């Protein structure tokens, strides 16, 4: 159908309906704006939302992971939840009435969810189970991916075709500090490892330092152009699938993943299940944080006690990696916040804890090994190996104050 016909469908929805839409770089903006023009009030639920979202009375933005399209928005409803558990929200306290999906064009009665699988299959199932509607925006520029990304066209109530460029971003060259962190992490990673890397410049910097490694496998929540660079360098095991739940990156990356049978996008319940993650030998998890305290606790989601992002899949992968044979989990971050001139290694967190029990914390200063060490030994390692030199004296005094050091 056309967008105009779709507006008529949306106008018949109940006020206050919960709408789940594709997030990340698969935001179906035309569908969202058609809905906004047709319905007085609704709840819009997206993960890591991008783009220009409606901003008016009657629209409640809701998410378990805050993206730039929702960040700092007045009235934002943040629902703390590990990413692997978000599907349970849809069958419990946050049932969807409408699901808006950005898909490829059809082939043999199927479309692909393209760059974003994530929690969307669970949202579709929950909506259909309660008589909701599923709407697809078919875009010939959306890459066709396999795995749980494929859906039968018969699973949609309405389909509209719109030809528009898919959001993309060119990779940035890592700065010197990020490159140093990447080198320190890469030295801890062995050949034949399975990798999960979070979002951001530092995980990308780690990948850039792994070109000399061999037989690496990707089992991750997401990946970007750094994985393509590993493929070009011959670092990936070509007999193993490259698995993720969503992807974003450059046009070159999209061309590579399009119709590529080695790349499989699976639903979050599979990619982020700690039990499944733990089955991978040498599972290695690399994520970033904003702060790490002397107890090894990390804050990766709040700034000045205001939500910045969310738990995401970090806790899922840290737990899974730590239970895997020869598994490791790293929190990688710069040791210093340049804008605020403050240390990222702090005595105690004044914000919510995002993760804990990782193998080590890595900054450009070095590697602080935490696993299997006492609290005092962890604090000592963080001060001596991860904190910037000018922060170490104050951290040592704080450690004594907390009774960590005698």
List the structure tokens of 250.
Answer: 């450059």
Radius of gyration of the chain from its Cα atoms, rounded to whole angstroms: 22
Which burial class, exposed, middle or buried, applies to 152 when counting CB atoms under 10 A from its CB (0-12, 13-18, 19+)? exposed
Cα angle 370, 65, 60 (rounded to 5 degrees) comes to 155
What is the DSSP secondary structure assignment for residue 77, as one 8-state letter?
Answer: E
Cα–Cα distance for residue pair 185/54, rounded to 1 Å = 41
Please name every residue paired with 102 in a beta bridge, in sequence order, or none if there are none.
Answer: 137
Strand partners, 195: 218, 284
Closest CA to 117 of 257, 319, 13: 257
Contact 227, 207 (CB under 8 A): yes
Instruction: Please state whether beta strands 110-112 and 98-103 pair in parallel, antiparallel, or not at all (unpaired).
Output: unpaired
Catalytic residue among 62, 221, 269, 364: 221
Q: Establish whether 221 is a catalytic residue.
A: yes
- Checking DSSP bridges between strand 263-265 and strand 242-244, what pairing results, if any? parallel
The distance of Cα 107 from the centroid of its chain, to the nearest Å, equals: 29
Q: What are phi and psi of 104, to 5 degrees?
A: -75, 175
| Tokens matching residue 104 | 């490829």
DSSP code for 322: H
Listed in sequence order, the residues at least 6 apart from 42 whose beta carbon sits closer than 8 Å to its beta carbon are 13, 15, 16, 17, 18, 19, 35, 58, 59, 60
- Contact partners, residue 120, CB within 8 Å, separation at least 6: 20, 22, 99, 101, 113, 267
Q: Tokens 């904190």 — which residue?
A: 387
State the catalytic residues. 221
């Amino acid at each position: 159908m056309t967008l105009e016909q779709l507006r008529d469908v949306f106008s018949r929805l109940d006020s206050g309906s919960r709408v789940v839409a594709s997030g990340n770089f698969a935001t179906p903006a035309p569908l969202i704006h058609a809905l906004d023009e047709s319905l007085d009030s609704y709840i819009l639920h997206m993960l890591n939302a991008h783009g220009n979202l409606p901003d008016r009375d009657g629209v409640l933005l809701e998410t378990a992971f805050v993206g730039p399209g929702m960040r700092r928005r007045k009235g934002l409803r943040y629902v703390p939840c590990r990413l692997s558990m978000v599907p349970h929200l849809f069958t419990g306290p946050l049932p969807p009435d409408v699901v808006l999906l950005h898909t490829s064009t059809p082939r043999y009665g199927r479309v692909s969810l393209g760059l974003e699988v994530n929690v969307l299959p669970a949202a579709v199932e929950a909506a259909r189970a309660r008589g909701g509607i599923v709407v697809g925006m078919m875009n010939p520029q959306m890459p066709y991916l396999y795995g749980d990304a494929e859906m039968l066209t018969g699973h949609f109530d309405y389909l509209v075709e719109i030809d528009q460029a898919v959001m993309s971003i060119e990779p940035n060259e890592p700065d010197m500090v990020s490159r140093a962190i990447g080198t320190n992490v890469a030295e801890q990673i062995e050949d034949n490892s399975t990798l999960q890397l979070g979002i951001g410049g530092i995980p990308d910097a780690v990948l850039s330092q792994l070109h000399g490694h061999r037989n690496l496998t990707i089992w991750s929540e997401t990946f970007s152009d750094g994985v393509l660079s590993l493929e070009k360098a011959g670092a990936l095991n070509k007999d193993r699938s490259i698995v993720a739940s969503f992807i974003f990156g450059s046009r070159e990356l999209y061309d590579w993943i399009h119709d590529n049978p080695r790349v499989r996008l699976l639903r979050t319940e599979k990619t982020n299940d700690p039990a499944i993650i733990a089955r991978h030998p040498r599972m290695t998890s690399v994520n970033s944080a904003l702060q790490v305290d002397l107890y090894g606790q990390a804050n990766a989601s709040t700034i000045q006690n205001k939500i910045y992002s969310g738990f995401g899949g970090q806790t899922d992968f840290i737990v899974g990696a730590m239970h895997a044979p020869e598994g490791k989990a790293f929190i990688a971050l710069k040791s210093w916040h340049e804008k605020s001139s403050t240390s990222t290694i702090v005595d105690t967190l004044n914000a919510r804890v995002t993760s804990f029990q990782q193998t080590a914390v890595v900054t450009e200063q070095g590697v602080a090994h935490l696993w299997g060490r006492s609290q005092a030994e962890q604090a000592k390692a963080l001060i001596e190996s991860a904190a910037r030199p000018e922060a170490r004296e104050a951290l040592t005094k704080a450690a004594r104050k907390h009774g960590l050091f005698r």
